[in-house]
Amino acid sequence: MSKNPLLTPLELKVMNILWKLKKAFVKEIREQWDGTDEDKPAYNTISTTVRILETKEYVGHQAFGRTHQYFPKVSRFAYQKRLMGNILENAFSGSTTNLVSALIDNQKVSEEDLKEIEELIKKGKEE
């Protein structure tokens, strides 16, 4: 997956819908878009975005005549790992401590989250 560039916000929105639906036509992606019809991108915008995602190898398709049904080729978890690795290296100079500290300082981590993280760390050390 290293050849896949990171996603733009629009591409990520489309991918989130595809991850949720597993497979979808452009019309179905647009129907799942949050907001009013005025807030939704045009059909052609979504269609173009999906074709870009294909060139980036995030999405594949199955043809049904002249229409295509799209599906993710990269899992959400694989993308999240890659994105976090990029953030860790580029924004935090590889320091996991600084990354976690930033999350805690911004109050984005609940007590329950901290307990789960601690369990993950303990589990990782055991393996």
Would you say 12 and 2 are in contact if contact means Cβ atoms under 8 Å apart?
A: no
Does residue 34 lie within any of the structural domains?
yes
Residue 84: inside a domain: no
Average pLDDT of 67-73? 97
Least trusted range by pLDDT, from 8-12, 70-74, 95-99: 95-99
Domain count, the chain: 2
Domain identity same for 14 and 50: yes
**Residue 48 corresponds to which tokens in the numbers above?**
């173009």
Are residue 55 and residue 19 in the same domain, yes or no? yes
**pLDDT tens digits, 76-115:** 999 999 999 999 999 999 998 898 888 788 776 788 888 8
93 by Cβ neighbours in 10 Å (0-12 / 13-18 / 19+) ranks as exposed
pLDDT score for 3: 65
Domain residues for the domain of 115 are 96-127
* Full-model pTM: 0.81
